Amino acid sequence: MSAIDQVFQQLRSQGRKAFIPFVTAGDPDLDFTADVLRELGKRGCSLCEIGVPYSDPIADGPVIQASYTRALERKIKLREILGMTARVSREIEAPLVTMVSYAIVYRHGLEAFVREAKETGVAGAIVPDLLVEESGPLAEICRREDFSLIQLVTPTTPRERAVRIADASSGFLYCVSVTGITGERRSLPPQLLENIAWLREQTELPLCIGFGVSQPEHVQQLAPVADGVIVGSAIVRRIAEAAVHPRDHVLADVGRYVESLMAALNPDGAA
């Protein structure tokens, strides 16, 4: 059982839902990324998702793309990111998950990536550009190492294919709420709840919903049907303010924002 499995097992036993924030590694620098992760852990987040910057990101909107560009301009490397996770993972309870392109994993070596990520406190990886037809080798390594391989199902994924993706995944299934790219939205599509209900019948994996989730009203809408919610662009946009505002003020703003969403997700307390 992976660390992510343990988190969801505990949350389910308590009738609670996971709040999963996303941050870009190295924007504005790795020291501040570490500070943000510590703040998120202190606020009681269930898991923390760390984006590994990539020059050709899949499905990321302008806010996250811009954060990747800023980090890449600093020549950030995977080994530096894992060095940061090694430090932070010892200080916070929330397991860390990477959002990473398969091109990076493949170039690093599948076995080496999983082994080194796990050694530095990372509990799983979301690999958005890994085709289910090509996921077998990495999925097998992840199963052997109790390292979660989290894959995405979108509103346009054919249902037969969605089942195959769920079968190849572990930890949780990343359910994309909208067609298109990441980013803050005013409302979520009405068919989302129907899609989640169908997925619930196909897999025992926890279902976590991301893309477009940014307001307490969104979280309240999703809480009855999701096992967790993922919030990225709205957090990354606030972190970007560290380039022009005092960092302690930015940390406090991120913390307050996250707490407002967590209160909507689990009204009786933290996630």
Give 178's pLDDT tier (boundaries 50, 70, 90).
Answer: low
DSSP state of 133: G
93 included as an active-site residue: no
CA separation for the pair 28, 5 (Å, rounded): 31
- Residue 182: the pLDDT is 46
Residue 180: per-residue pLDDT: 45
pLDDT of residue 186: 52
* Mean pLDDT calculated for residue range 156-169: 95
Give residue-wise pLDDT tens across range 110-120. Answer: 999 999 999 99
pLDDT for residue 102: 96
Catalytic one among 35, 49, 116, 167?
A: 49
Q: What integer pLDDT is reported at residue 263 of this predicted model?
A: 95
pTM: 0.92
| CA–CA gap between residue 235 and residue 21 (Å, rounded) | 7
Q: Domain segments of the chain: what residues?
A: 3-265
The tens digit of pLDDT for each residue in 67-102 reads 999 999 999 999 999 999 999 999 999 999 999 999
**Cβ atoms of 208 and 22 closer than 8 Å:** no
How many Å apart are CA 140 and CA 147, to the nearest integer? 10
Q: Answer whether residue 38 shows pLDDT above 90.
A: yes
Residue from 60, 129, 140, 253 carrying the catalytic annotation: 60
> Mean pLDDT across the chain, nearest whole number?
91
Q: Is the pLDDT of residue 137 over 60?
A: yes
User: Which phi and psi angles does 148 have, rounded to 5°?
Assistant: -75, 135
Is 227 a catalytic site residue? no
pLDDT at 185: 44
Taking domain 3-265, whether its CATH number is 3.20.20.70 is answered by yes
Q: Model confidence at 58, in pLDDT bands (50, 70, 90)?
A: low
Q: Which tokens hold the place of 171?
A: 């930890």
Predicted local confidence at residue 187, as pLDDT: 52
**Average of per-residue pLDDT across 20-38:** 97
